[in-house]
A and B are shown apart, each in its own frame.
Chain A
Amino acid sequence: NAGVTQTPKFQVLKTGQSMTLQCAQDMNHEYMSWYRQDPGMGLRLIHYSVGAGITDQGEVPNGYNVSRSTTEDFPLRLLSAAPSQTSVYFCASSYSVGPSTDTQYFGPGTRLTVL
């Protein structure tokens, strides 16, 4: 298994540009989520999905969209990038619908800089 994969690893955008961060897992996990990690803030949940066709907002959803058309893929879209979205983004997945009793598997992260 490749586990959780994310692309790209690094990205530089200009303010106002849009882009999609890709996330895929091959473990048949139902639960997938996106986090951003900023210095002094810890990991914060952006959006999550409990299965194909179902998504919901996390703690910091503004400026981001997600979709879950398949079990494997959970892309994160930045509609109009802002410097405040400069961060490291992690995708994670777990088998059960809720992660409270299950191990989460994290992708390697995407380091995004918005100029």
Chain B
Amino acid sequence: KNEVEQSPQNLTAQEGEFITINCSYSVGISALHWLQQHPGGGIVSLFMLSSGKKKHGRLIATINIQEKHSSLHITASHPRDSAVYICEGSGSRLTFGEGTQLTVNP
């Protein structure tokens, strides 16, 4: 069983919708990273979280340490947000979720 589980695997939304991607992780993971992989393949780090909440533009990431759960929210989604979003857990080693393929239609 993977130490990091993401849901959903695929997500299709209309432009303007509020989007949530979830990540659950196991004991031993001390920090969560959210990554974005564009259709061209490049990977960009969006957030690193060990507690609380972070916001950057239309992106918001939250983490609940007690529940071992993190969410990535996108407000007012846009077609350019279409990408794979990957949750990465850091502990004694790095563990990655399988990614969520997000498609935002105009």
Interface residues of A (CB under 8 A from B): 33, 40-45, 58-59, 88, 90, 92, 98-106, 108-109, 111
Interface string of B32-64 (1 = CB under 8 A from A): 010100000111110010100000000000000
4-44 of chain B: CB within 8 A of chain A: 30-31, 33, 35, 41-44
| B residues adjacent to A (C-beta < 8 A) | 2, 30-31, 33, 35, 41-45, 48, 50, 86, 88, 90-91, 93-94, 96-99
Given contacts A90-B43, A108-B41, contact A100 B91 (CB under 8 A): yes
**Which of B35, B93, B96 counts the most chain A CB atoms within 10 A?**
B96
A27 to chain B, nearest CB (A): 13
Chain A hits for B99, CB < 8 A: 42
Given contacts A40-B98, A42-B86, A100-B30, contact A106 B42 (CB under 8 A): yes
Instruction: Tell me, rounded to whole Å, the shortest Cβ–Cβ distance linking B76 to chain A.
Output: 25
* Smallest CB separation, A60 vs chain B (Å): 12
Known interface pairs A42-B2, A42-B86, A43-B86. Does A103 touch B94 (Cβ–Cβ under 8 Å)?
no
A108 to B98 alpha-carbon distance, docked (Å) = 19
